[in-house]
Structure 1
Amino acid sequence: MTDARKILIVDDDPQICEIVQVYCEREGFLSSYSHNGTEAMKLLASFEPDLIVLDVLLTNENGIDWCVNARSFTNAPIVFLSSREEDEVKISALSYGGDDYVTKPFSPGVLMAKIKAHLRRVSTGRREQLLELPGLTLDFYAQSVNMGSEAIFLSKKEFSLLSYMAQNVNRAVRVDALFQLIWGMDSLEDTRTVAVHISNLRKKIEADPASPERIITIRGVGYMLVARSALQART
């Protein structure tokens, strides 16, 4: 059961939660549920679901607003489950972070089919979004980095810089190209910001940040992420 996919159910109707949980367990999923948004947000952090079933109307809270907040912490598919059938509600739910919308009353079998379809899509996407370099693995879906078995925590900007260089491994990348890609043409920052983030990145992935071997400076050009077997031997 340790490899079972995890489903978080967020609905203020206890009976709905129990029904969905029973069907999830029949499919071999682990599940947990909450009847309010505050508790559900805590579960999001502790349970780390692979998919979320979410009601549009929670007690004292809008499920769409909860979805927007949740998107700061998870990329898991969110399937809305609601009695609201208005097109504008469906459009809002899907525009603000939802992946699917099922109206009540619903067929548990159809809901399970949708859940499995989304989990298959995510699983396929995750395999395609892994980039492995000597001693370094980038997961573009989860926006995470591992050095061997150790997880390295990067800011969004640091991950964006590293992932772009990883896709151009062993090639020099210009500072202005990095700046425009990450900060944009209209940014109020200047290109020196890149150097600051590169320095912070080196502190996290270099054995000796003062003498970097992974991210090297190419004078007059920019930076290069180096991937060679010698690095793998030392990690």
Structure 2
Amino acid sequence: MDSHKIMIVDDDPQICEIVQAYCERDGFITSYCHSGAEAMKLLASFEPDLIVLDVLLANENGIDWCKNARSITNAPIVFLSSREEDEIKISALSNGGDDYVTKPFSPGVLMAKIKAHLRRVSTGRREQLLELQGLTLDFNAQSVIMSSETIFLSKKEFSLLSYMAQNVNRVVSVDALFQLIWGMESLEDTRTVAVHISNLRKKIEADPASPERIVTIRGTGYMLVAKDALQART
């Protein structure tokens, strides 16, 4: 089984520890926190594959957090809550949630749901390729294939490259890249885009000091240059 990363957000430490224990028993990597502010920082640093989120955090609304997080991540979000009202469930699922489990909960049922969502995400990404001249993005493996060589990227590097690839031969502003990858709530600033672009160039450019694939458009942003760009199958 792949070592998927599960992020747990609940203001009850005991709940966090129980979910963590079951996730790690099944081979997942976990990290947890107890507040929305902590969760936003953890989301950026941990880059989870799935999030288990309480509806009622201390002095915060988990549904609002979920809505904000959707500008940063597409990871499935499974709500875990003591609230059973239909309107709460509907709101949670309408604002970015993928599933809803009520407390007290069966750890076995929760794990089955987590695995089902991870399996669905993996299946949805399978065989998804974006082919450009001399450059193929593999969304399933989060990698780039160049001259038959597979180069693995970090999640943010791959997100940056895939967005530019979908806008190939067009200028993409620094602000657009920052908002897409880091979001409004990030404590980073737009300079972090340049850092990640520099790291990305080291992996895909023949000469990172004189880039030919990802070029800087001074005062505006960046452009991924490719001739005869074409969209492959999905």
TM-score (norm. length: structure 1):
0.64
Question: Conserved in 2, the CA contact under 8 Å of 1:54 and 1:80?
Answer: yes
Distance 1:156 1:128 in 2: 15
Distance 2:70 2:144 in 1: 22
Question: Match for residue 51 of structure 2?
Answer: 52
**What do you get for the CA RMSD once the two structures are aligned?**
3.5
Alignment of 1:28-177 (within 5 A): 28-138=27-137, 146=144, 148=146, 149=151, 151=157, 154=160, 158-162=164-168
Higher normalized contact order (CA 8 Å, seq sep 6+, divided by chain length): 2
Amino acid at match of 1:107: S
Report how far residue 133 of structure 1 moved.
4.5
Distance 2:214 2:100 in 1: 48
Distance 1:47 1:225 in 2: 33
| 1:109-136 CA-partner distances (Å, limit 9, x unpaired) | 0000000000111111121323345532
Secondary structure at the aligned position of 1:128 is classed as coil
Higher-Rg structure is 1
What is the total number of aligned residue pairs between the two structures?
A: 178
Amino acid at match of 1:75: N
Question: Conserved in 2, the CA contact under 8 Å of 1:35 and 1:58?
Answer: yes
2:213 is the counterpart of 1:206:
yes
Gaps of 5+ in 2: 170-209, 217-222
2:229 is the counterpart of 1:225:
yes
2:16 is the counterpart of 1:17:
yes
Secondary structure at the aligned position of 2:73 is classed as coil
Distance change in 2, residues 1:159/1:58 (3 Å)? farther
Distance 2:116 2:90 in 1: 21
Report how far residue 98 of structure 1 moved.
0.5
| 1:159-204 CA-partner distances (Å, limit 9, x unpaired) | 54349xxxxxxxxxxxxxxxxxxxxxxxxxxxxxxxxxxxxxxx97
Amino acid at match of 1:206: R
Amino acid at match of 2:67: V
Gaps of 5+ in 1: 164-202, 217-223, 228-235
Amino acid at match of 1:161: N
Report how far residue 29 of structure 1 moved.
0.7
TM-score (norm. length: structure 2):
0.64
Distance change in 2, residues 1:215/1:77 (3 Å)? same
Distance change in 2, residues 1:208/1:7 (3 Å)? closer
Question: Conserved in 1, the CA contact under 8 Å of 2:127 and 2:138?
Answer: no
Question: Conserved in 1, the CA contact under 8 Å of 2:55 and 2:61?
Answer: yes
Report how far residue 215 of structure 1 moved.
3.9
Distance change in 2, residues 1:56/1:213 (3 Å)? closer
Distance 1:111 1:99 in 2: 13
